[in-house]
Structure 1
Amino acid sequence: MKKIISYILLVSLFISCEKNKSGNMIVNVDINGLKKGTVYLQKFVDTSLVAVDSAKINGVSNFVLVDDVTSPEMYFLTLDKKEYEKIPFFGEKGTLTITSKLEKLLLSAKISGSQNQDLLEEYKSMIQQFRGKELDFFKERFDAQRNNDEALVTKLDSDQENLTKRKYLYTTNFALQHKDKEIAPYIALTELHNANIMLLDTINKSLSKEIKTSKYGLELDKFISEIKDND
């Protein structure tokens, strides 16, 4: 009986603490199998990854994390026991839901409630095909070099260069199709930083007024300006 009462008090305290949290982004999290530990909600401030909220878990696997979002940006869900296995997600105003399993924290993560996150997952599912092919090229090139097959090495280098161009064009077109979402400048910064400046410029000029003044919109414009200044 005492154990039941203690558990009820623990849950009541947990619910009370969650209700006291405030922010325009509410993240409901449930990590199956998590019984004890601390989970952190993190984001980059300048160049440092900092915790903006946290939850101490003691017997209850579901909890709430919050933050005030000025502009949609990438966040990370980090468990103290698995600090190198972070769940990245695009945070934005509103209510998001993240479910996962402790034993496969990253691989089993499912995220809903963010339009930018949905677009990011759509983009990643396609770009993964390009990356799979890049790995194939790497293996084939290694084998060709080991067999001193210079003709094949040259062909593979050419094929890989063409694949990279196709990947860059796909990324550019994806950004242009979603120029009214923060995902556009984000993937330009993360996926096209080594691409021709013309592709970055094309995306930057297409962004809606609202996205141009977003966190990643401003960072993209600054990045392009720095490249031009150094040329």
Structure 2
Amino acid sequence: MKRALSLFALLFIVAACNNEEKHPDSNLHITGEIKGLKKGKLYIQQLRDTTLTTLDSIIVNGDATFDSYLNIDGPEMLYLFLDRGQTKSIDNSLPFFAEPGEMTINSTNENFFAKAKITGSENHKMYEDYLKMKSRFTNKNLELLEQSMEAEKEGNTAIKDSIDKQMENLLKKRYLFTVNYAINKGDYELAPYLVLSEVNDVNIVYLDTVQKSMSPKVAKSYYGELLTEYIAERRKAVEAAKSE
């Protein structure tokens, strides 16, 4: 039994070494399974300057498992797109915060987005934690919106104004939560990404605070440099407005 286990372990190591030799330029290996998917295509995409670029495409024909070898400059948000061959399919895009190393993405054909389980990335784990808290703000906002519409229908202006004020305060709380979350995660590339994607119109004072909280490594990352450039553009716009 011990010999069999040792042989299995040896074969596993050899297989891993062979894969590394076949993909010497890759620094990210993604494996996974889309249960229930019999036939279709998977695309791993990268967003650059508002344009999605395909980094890898995988044909699924009978075997729902997949793997992909990529080379990325550093941690960043990528997208796993599922083409089921159905033009009306909307549950087909899965964002994931990729990191160099080994990652696993498992999901199902019927609930591609909702049932996704992603491991191997600390940035993505924290991103999921953020989304859970954000969903609370979103759900509360929808609840207040429904109440506001009902008050408007009944012609009750006082109640509607009160509810609208609550919605405004809730938005401020979500913005502050996002900024504080980013500040506390200054050692991770997720920090500048959240600010740029979730609250880029926040007061520039908060943007400065997030920027100062970033570690040197994060400041030099793709999103770190984007945030620095964005803050500079915001400053120029403020100065231009003052001179008019």
> TM-score if structure 2 supplies the norm length?
0.84
SS at match of 2:77: strand
Within the candidate set 147, 160, 167, 2:167 is matched to 160
Partner of 2:33: 30
User: What is the CA distance between 1:21 and its match in structure 2?
Assistant: 4.3
Superposition pairs of residues 4-19 of structure 1, within 5 angstroms: 19=19
SS at match of 1:78: strand
Distance, in Å, in 2 between the alignment partners of 1:113 and 1:230 is: 40
Distance, in Å, in 2 between the alignment partners of 1:21 and 1:139 is: 53
Q: State yes or no: 1:39 paired with 2:39.
A: no
User: What is the CA distance between 1:38 and its match in structure 2?
Assistant: 1.6
Partner of 1:224: 231
> Partner letter of residue 236 of structure 2?
D
- Report the CA distance shift for 1:21/1:59 in structure 2 as closer, same or farther (over 3 A): farther
User: What is the CA distance between 1:140 and its match in structure 2?
Assistant: 0.9
Partner of 1:117: 124
Superposition pairs of residues 146-157 of structure 1, within 5 angstroms: 146-157=153-164
Answer whether contact 1:36 1:58 (CA < 8 A) is retained: yes
Q: Which runs of 5+ in 1 are unaligned?
A: 1-14
Answer whether contact 1:192 1:200 (CA < 8 A) is retained: no
Distance, in Å, in 2 between the alignment partners of 1:111 and 1:101 is: 12
Partner of 1:10: none
Partner of 1:50: 53
Partner of 2:8: none
> TM-score if structure 1 supplies the norm length?
0.88
Distance, in Å, in 2 between the alignment partners of 1:172 and 1:98 is: 28
Partner of 1:78: 81
Structure 1 segments (4+ residues) deviating >4 Å? none
RMSD: 1.6
- Aligned-residue sequence identity (percent) comes to 36
User: What is the CA distance between 1:175 and its match in structure 2?
Assistant: 0.8
Within the candidate set 59, 64, 67, 1:64 is matched to 67
Distance, in Å, in 2 between the alignment partners of 1:127 and 1:222 is: 26
